[in-house]
Structure 1
Amino acid sequence: MNKFLRLTLAIIFAFVCSWSFSQTRFDFDKEGTTLLGLSGESSSESSSGDITEAKTAKIGNISITVSAKEEGTKTPNRIWHKSPKLRMYSGTMTIASSDKKITEIQIVAGKWSGKANNGTLTNTKSNEQTWTGSENTVVFNISDNTQIDTITVYVEGEAAPVTAPKISGTTPFTESTTVTITADEGASIYYTTDGTNPTKQSTAYTAPFSVTATTTVKAIAYDANGKASEVSTETFTKADKVATTGDGTLEKPYTTKDALALIAGNANTTDQVYVKGIISAITEVSTKFGNATFTISDDGKDQETIIVYRVKYLDNTSFTAEDQIKVGDNVIMKAVLTKYKETSEIAKGYIYSLNGNTTTGINKIINNASDENAPVYNLAGQRVDKSYKGIVIKKGKKYFNK
C-alpha cells in the first residue's frame, strides 16, 4: 500500500513539474550585438551594428533569424545605439523551435509593421504584439520601420508566467519623483522601498507615491490564483545640487557649461529647457530626416563643448538646406539634457533662436505684395520665383502668394 502511494505521488509530482512555466526571452536592448554576433552598435557615425547578411540568435531550442534588408530598401536592418535597439525596415524575422511547437510569442516594440505568415497576431498593449498558434516556425514579414526591445517565446506544454510589474518614474530627479507601478489586469501588486524582496506581506500598491531621496523600489504581482511574478526593480536617484549661472528658462537660459555640469551631476531633464551657445562644429545636417547634429560651446571654440543631437530647425520645423546653420552661429536650444553612455547631449528639441532670430508664427498675412520687383524667398531662405505658392518673404516681411 505504501509503495503504491509513493508511486502515485511521484507520478503526480512529475506531472505538475512538467507544467511549471518557463520561457525563452531575447533581450535585444541589453544583448543585441552578442545575440546576433555583431561587432558593435550602429549610429550616425558607425555601421558596426548593420545586418548585411542573415543573422541568427539562439537560446536553447529557440532561434530568431533576422534577414538583411530587401533589395531597393535604403536603410539596413541593424542593432541601433538607442532603445529600442533591434531596428528592421524590410525583410523577415523568423522564429523557430527545434522540438516543441511554439504557442505564444510576445514582442515588445516601440514601432511595429510586421505580419505573420501563420497563427494570429494581435496588438495586446500599446507597445506589445502577441502571436498565438501552434507552429514550429513563424515568419514575420517586415514592411516598414520596426523597433524591437524584447521577444519572449513560449512553447507547447509551458504555462505563461505572471507578467512582472512595471515601475516608472523620473530618474535622476531633483526634488521628488512620483512612482507608478502597473501590472496585468486583475493582478495584485506589492512593493518595498527598503531594498528587500516583496511578498504578500509587503505594502499593497493602490496609488502612485512620491520619493524624495534615492530609493530602490521592488515590486511583485500575484494573479487571481496566487501565482507570483518575478520581482521588478528600479532605482530612482536624487541628483546632486548643481550651481548654474542660468535657470533653463528663456529669460535666463543655461550656458553650455551649465548643461555639462547638470548632466555630470545626474540632473538630466525630461522636460525641455533653454540652453544657449555658439556652434563650434557641425557633424551633419540631414535634409532627408530634417534634423541636424552639431556641437556648441560658450565661446564657439572646441573646449567644453556639448553635442546637440538630431534637433529640428527654427520653430521646430525640418531642415531643408545644409547651409541653414554654420560654425559661429549663436543659438538658443529648446531641448532636453541627457546622457548616452558617457556622452553628454542636448537632444529631443529644436533651435529656438538663431543669431537672435526666432519664428513665432505669422502674425499678419497680406495678399499680393506691393513691390513686384523685390526678390522673393521661401521660409528656408531659398530664393524663389513669383509663381511660388504659399508663404514667402519679401523685403523682410512675410506674405501669402495665392
Structure 2
Amino acid sequence: MAKRDYYEVLGVDRSAELDEIKKAYRKLAVRYHPDRNAGDTQAEERFKEATEAYDVLANPQKRQAYDQFGFAGVDGMAGGQGHDYSHVFRDFEDVFGDVGSIFDSFFTRTDRRRGGGRGGGAGRGDDLRYDLRIPFEQAVFGTKADVAYRRQEACSRCDGSGTEGTTARSICPTCGGSGQVRRNSGFFSIATSCPSCGGEGEVIENPCRACRGTGREQKERRLRVTIPVGMENGKRIQLTGQGDAGIGRAPAGDLYVFVHVEPHPCYQRHGDDLYCVIPLAFTQAALGTSILVRTLDDRRIRVKVPAGTQPAKLLRVRGEGVPHPDNPGRRGDLYIKVAVTVPDRLSSHARKLLGEVAEAVGEESSPEPVPLAELE
C-alpha cells in the first residue's frame, strides 16, 4: 500500500506551525493508541502512521528534507521504513505536557465517558473526511455545495443504547464499572482500558439485534456546505458534530470537507490577485488603444493600453481580483499580461505601409543581446 503524505496523515496544512502539528498528533495518538484499541490492527497501523508523520514534521531538519525531496529525503532517517520510534515516545512529555496527562487522555474515567465535554472522553465519534471538487469561479466568489456521505448514527432500533427492548446494562464484573484495569510494570502502575467492556464500565446482557450492541448504525447523510469567497485549493472546512456518532452519550466527531479547486483555462490565482493573458495586435501595442476585457464573473471592463506597450507587459486593474474571505468588499487586483501578436500574412499594401514605418522608426539591423531578465 502506498504511503500517505505526512501532512495528510496529521490533517494539517503544509504551512502548519509546530504547535498545530503537536495538537494534531496528540489527537490521533489518543484515539488510536494500542492500549485503547486492544486487538484492533487497523488502529495500531493508524497510530504508527501518525507517529511516523509526527517524527518527521516535528523535526525541522527532517521536515525540510521531506518538503524538498518527499519520502526519499527522509529514507535512512528516523521516521522512515522500519525505524525504531522509542525516541518519539521519550518526547511524549513535550506533546502531552506531563506523563500523567497522557494516561488521563488515553484512559478517561467513566463519568467523563458518560456524556463528557467535547474533545474529552473515550467513545467520541470518529472524524470523517470528504473531498469536494469545485470550479475555479465558485472558489473565488463562494458557493453552496451539497455533499452526501455515510456516517455512524445512533441506532434507530435501540436509540443508541445498544440493548434490546428494556434490557438494562449491568456493571462490568472485570473492572467493577470503572472501565479500567491496572497492571504493574516495575515501579509503575498503569491503568488500561478494560478488555471485557472496552472501557465502558458496563456490559450488555441482551444486545440490540439491529446494531449488535454497538448502539450505532451506518446511514447516508446529506448536507449543504457553504464555501466562503476566496476559498483556496486544499483548504478544509470543519463541520462540528457531523462525523460519526459517539458511543453512548459521547459527542459525535467532526466532518472535514477538503476543497479541491479545478484549474481555470484562462485565469490563474496568486493570493488575492488574478492573472490572465490578452493578445494584442502589434499596432495596438505600438499606438495604444482601449480594449474590453471579459472578467472572471463574465462582465466586460474597459482597459487602457498605453502607447508603446511591450510584450509581456503587465497591466493592473485594481479591485477585479479575488474577494478577501474576511472582507468580501475588499478584492485583490487583476493583472493582464500583454501578448503581442504578429500577422503571418500581409497584403501588398500592408507590407508597403509597414516598410515605411520600419524606415521611419529606424529599425536596428544588427541588434545586441539583452539580459534574459528583461524578458520576464
Normalised TM-score (structure 1): 0.23
Structure with the bigger RCO (C-alpha within 8 Å, sep 6+) is 2
- Structure with more of its chain in helix, by fraction: 2
- Structure with the greater alpha carbon radius of gyration: 2
- Structure with more of its chain in strand, by fraction: 1
Normalised TM-score (structure 2): 0.24
